[in-house]
Amino acid sequence: MFRITRKEEIFFDMFVATAESTCKAAGLLEEMLNNYVDVEKKVNAIEKVENDCDKLVHGILEQLNKSFITPIDREDIYLIAKEIDNITDAIESTAHRFLMFNVKKVTPEALTMAKYITAGCNELKLLLMELRTMKTSKVLAKKIVEVNRIEDMGDTVFRKAITDLFKNEKNAVEIIVWKEIYEYLENTLDALEDVADIIEGVVTKHA
């Protein structure tokens, strides 16, 4: 049995650094929707963070390619890195929809879902910080549950938003626009849950 050294544990640090970038993007999206001015400038700021996140993910994959020993299964490292990247990609794609569709006013439902994304990202970061001590951590399982709970709350808001949209909105263009934006927000929350589910599988393997 190989002993994992500090050198191999670098993956845990890299996961956290990438999650911090994702949290930054989520915070910028929420701030944009809360203070809906200078939208193009704010979207560009989110895009820059997404590019930074891409570099961090590439760094993880490069480290994976040259590492003989890894602290968890190689495929799990790959999946976690790519799924964190998917979250940031989804945040950027969501932000761009507001600019592309020339949205003039943010709905309460969109703002609520953005708040959930920020909350979910923060929980995911804490979850990844605990991954290194998965066998002894007292809070890791709770963090997984919390990410899933946030995603469930997002589902509830999403379903109500879509229902209300088709029930009350008479403008077909507005229906198309907001249906897509809500779906992108929901996809972002789904991506958060995907990472938590992968980590839950890792914890089970190493129990």
Burial of 68 (0-12, 13-18, 19+ CB in 10 A): exposed
As a whole number, mean pLDDT of residues 85-99 equals 96
pTM of the model: 0.93
For the stretch 11-25, pLDDT in tens is 999 999 999 999 999
CATH 1.20.58.220 is right for the domain spanning 10-205: yes
User: Domain-by-domain residue ranges, the chain?
Assistant: 10-205
- Alpha-carbon gap, residue 25 to 149, rounded angstroms: 21
| Contact (Cβ atoms closer than 8 angstroms) between residue 121 and residue 54 | no
What phi and psi values does residue 10 have, to the nearest 5 degrees?
A: -55, -25
